[in-house]
Structure 1
């Protein structure tokens, strides 16, 4: 159970973002052979772009290894971005008091112009000293490799740089772009030579966001580790995070094979370029991405009747793509009769899943996409399989008293402090209690909650209250009583069943509750967590 973050109204500037925005720059002396360049950068935090960050001076030295008078087409060079100035952690940064040690990773892009035109990536290490507010944040220099493909003069010019900082479990990017002309950082002379560039093949035709696409290629560096990125149609803006995962590999002969899964969200329709690099050489191919537009959705089942335990294959098409559906049996009143199962739709809105009928009261099987969706159902009739004239014998042994819940996380959302006591609401994950003991015993389901704590403060457990709501499923021998509304604290009853006096007890019961967290007017901002423990006895 957690409250994501308490954010003061005048402190929305950082939390886990923007703590690397420079308010000034500490300039370092260049090395004896350096030819430093200097320009003005404007940094913007990508999570909170409205947060103000003052422009700052960027001073760097771009160098090429190995050092030699001329190079040849086909050579692979290492380009180094050496910092000659460092940003200052803004002294008025709220929430945090320092940048943690080894929390910041620098990344950059360098443009090649002249005889050879392209962008290349450079990257450093996530290594930095612990840095208080107002002090220099010293990050590592950055390096990258590129294969020379054209003869003539090749110029190397910084295009942008970013810092990725881990704070509160979140990796936040602050991206810095030049606002003044950037001088060429280094120029090299490339003589003619022979080069065999890698070749990449991506799918032809349109593919959907979230699709897993095959990629093949040849002439890569044997046994190298491939890195894949999706670029804009003109080759700019290459971003590895546009792929959610990949299985790409390069064999001992330099052949590339495997698949890459496009990120399901945030990629607009249009033409793109897929880029695969082996650390020294790269290849590209075009890719057209198009979002799937669902038509009239459908739900089908491979059978319409059977006894409890029947396995039904459900299939659907034209549902929301890349979305989690909940599948469950429902009774004649439309109530869920068993714990739902989940299935993800494909990038083209299809799904297929096996569902095991779990309750005799089922009259239909329902698929639901989200809380506001009424879903679709297919009818299903639970049968006994027919009647035979046989004498039945058997032994019934007692079952147990068990419970299950539909989830383990409760989120009170984000509350913005305003100087007054506020209430944050959430819902308890539904709990199903099954009493199959075949006795006259009762039971009680109780809850306790710990204090909500964060790195900055504590909210007492007494501030968490609930309004229980419990019900017995149709056919249950016992009735269930909901607990009282009030604080949970060190012990409160969610629901209970009294011992039987005129017959056996037992049945299937659902327990739910509306939760309310009283947020103090002047709570310490932070991400709060607590543990709600349910005990069945």
Structure 2
């Protein structure tokens, strides 16, 4: 009999970031600042804390109000590491991020990079990336540009996102914007102050992106559309500006050619009545896992029934306070090896204790449910059956099993998606329980 024990943690309140460490700034706009990079849950890796080194540049350091400025965000070093177990191939990394505007103009600029990277060995830091985007200058004076959060999406075996949170990064670039030139009669030239911002810089085909526009004529009919270079794509929705000239829309992006989003009044986009483009990238789906799976075979001692499990803990997704709902997660992959011979099968049972939080708050263990999967390695004599989807609880439930048969044995890979269902207004905090797996 073998046992596997994993600690689970669920968070219902907001997560507080630690205070920023001392920051430093190097010459020529290159800055260094503390960063926390969260690997994808599927990777079963710990958060990576360390410095990010970055540089922001602009194509026009002295624009006029109404001009469109192209900005570049270069991350030359990141604490984020390769999230897959093996080597990461070349050209599977898509970077996205945000540049924070300050001074005379506030806001964020969405930036996106091309899928271009050298191969990365297992466990090594992810490589340098370059991201670009644009924004419209809306006010005269000094404008500062500082690095914001960034994400590194890899599409190899699985689609995985490593998100890097930035706190208090120093200013990397400065612009000085001047008012628009006056007409010969002395009145200022009418300037286009329309702008557009995106809720995210990337998504899979068909995903909807939140679009926010400002500076439009109150009550105007506005078109929000995808763009590839100077041409529009098939992605398009209609919206109406409110009495403050603001526009909010959800644009489903299905055209894989879309590389940016624009918004405009009238029949077509123009520099006088349009905003954007805001950079956006459509992610290509990762190839099927079976097409590039690496298989490692370990032969146990004769006569043994053994269990191994990746990772020592499971962290469930956070839920906002008051909402209730399902906090998702995944157990560490379990490998069962049966080299006993004979005719006897085996069962793998899971039991979970109650979740306990601060101040004595308790969530019953029966609130945790799972959906198991079980796969037998090629050449295994036994077949593997996944347990039924449903509650785990303190009484226990079958995760996987193999029946008695004339010939048994083999290697079996077992996974399960888990969900902790919480009622509305569960007291905020971290809740912990112990999931015990028993093989017999």
- Name the TM-score, length of structure 2 as normaliser: 0.44
Larger-Rg structure: 1
